[in-house]
Structures are given as structure tokens and as C-alpha cells.
Amino acid sequence: MKGLNLKDLAINTMLLSTMTVGIPTVSVAAEKDLYDFLWLDPDKKVYVLQNKVHKKEHTVYANLGVGLGLSSTFQDTSLFHGNIGYYLNEEWAVEALYTSYSNKDNEAFENLKRLNGSIPFIRKTKSNFGLIAKWSPFYGKINTFNKIFYFDWSFGLGLGKLNTESNASTVGNPAMANNYSSESYTSVIGKTELTLHATKNIHFSLGLIMNNYKAPGPTISNQAGKEKVRNNLDSMFSVGFSF
């Protein structure tokens, strides 16, 4: 081209290269990866660039585990727990659960019996089954020993049937032998659970389950004990599968 020497060509090439480098790279996220945070300026938006690894929508899960009862003063209580559920979407699931209990008189019971010659009022939990709605609003990941682990934190609320046995009818009468009678109560179930994903289909869970129910105390002088709201708290560890 007339009038364009090598020096001009070199200058034009440098200008073009500088303009090209100065153009920022823009990553466009899908609409479902857009999150609004209320504490930010309304005009600002935050995009999540990394997809969620362990998706729950339309998945079935099942857990089996063991645990301890935490509510009895005079009993050592162990338990076997199982549940199965279905996620309607990423946050909400419906879950059915069952717990079977084993009870044994503990040291506090034996000491009271040996030193005072008396038997305390005891209500033993035998089994529990129920249906709950499960909400999983929190998920995240941690880096431990150079390995990334993904976790979910969930909450549940529902209704159940709590089967127990107690010595309420005999403990208040020293002339009667200590005897346990079967009982059954409707309970309100509250649950919280932390789930750690080992693989796509295997996970481990730590959970707390509380049954709240209304039941009477011991019968004294032929008068039934006053009914009041009582609770039964369990802790558990379980292994689960999802598909």
C-alpha cells in the first residue's frame, strides 16, 4: 500500500494487539444459575458458575443406622433407625421413618434401688414410626486432607406414632410389684440432619430426632398423674443410598 512503510505497519499491529487484550472475557451463566441476594444492591446480581454436584430433585433415598436415646435418666437406650424418602425438588422431600429401641436399667437405676430400696418412674420407648416433610435449604463443600466433600443440612417436621411402656400404674404403690404397661401416643416429630456425600450414590448422615407427645405421670393414691407435653430425643449415625 502506498505510503505505508514497515515502521507504520509495526505501530498499527501493536495498537491492534493492545485493543484485543483490553477486551474483557465474559462468562455467561444460565438463568437457573442466577441468584439474588437481598443484602446486595438491587441492581447487582451474582452468578454461580459451578454446577451443583449432587442433585436431589426426583431422587429416592434410603438410610439405615444406629444411635442412642438421650432422654431417659434411668435407662441406657440404644436404637436402630431406618428411613426412605423422595425429593420432589432440590429442597423438599417426603420421608417415612421407623425406629426400634432397646432399653436397659443403667447405673443410676441400680444405685437408687440399692441405696433407697425404691423404684423410679420410668417410661421406656419401644418403637416410633412417622411421616415428615423434609426441607434441605443448605448445601456446601469443604476441603479436608486435599479432598473435597459435599454436604447438605436438612430439617424435618411431621407426625408419628410413639409406642412406649411405663410403670405409671404401679410405681406409686409400694405394696405392688413393679410392672410395665404398654402405651401409645401421637407425636410431633422434629428432625435435623447433616449429610456428607461420599460418592454420587452413597452418603453418611448424623441426625437428631425429637418426638413431642402428651402423656400422664405416675398414678399416686389412685389418682392418675397429670398429663403434660413430654419429649424423647435421639441421636443417630446412618449410611444411605440414593438413586
Please choose, from the candidates 203, 236, 71, the residue with its C-alpha nearest in 3D space to the C-alpha of residue 136.
203
Average confidence (pLDDT) over 128-145? 92
* pTM reported for the whole predicted model: 0.77
Res. 145: pLDDT tops 70: yes
Instruction: Work out the percent of the chain whose per-residue pLDDT is above 70.
Output: 79
pLDDT for 16 equals 43
Average confidence (pLDDT) over 19-36? 42
pLDDT tens-digit readout, 199-212: 999 999 999 999 99
Residues in the chain: 243
Res. 40: pLDDT tops 90: no
Res. 218: pLDDT tops 80: yes
Bridge partners of residue 238, in order along the sequence: 65, 205
Residue 170 C-alpha cell reads as 404401679
Amino acid letter, residue 88: L
pLDDT for 12 equals 53
Amino acid letter, residue 211: N
pLDDT tens-digit readout, 74-119: 999 999 999 999 999 999 999 999 999 999 999 999 999 998 888 9
Residue 96 C-alpha cell reads as 417415612
The backbone region for 58, taken as left when phi is positive above 0, alpha when psi lies in -120 to 50, beta otherwise, is: left
pLDDT level of residue 142 (50, 70, 90 thresholds):
confident
Res. 29: pLDDT tops 80: no
pLDDT for 222 equals 78
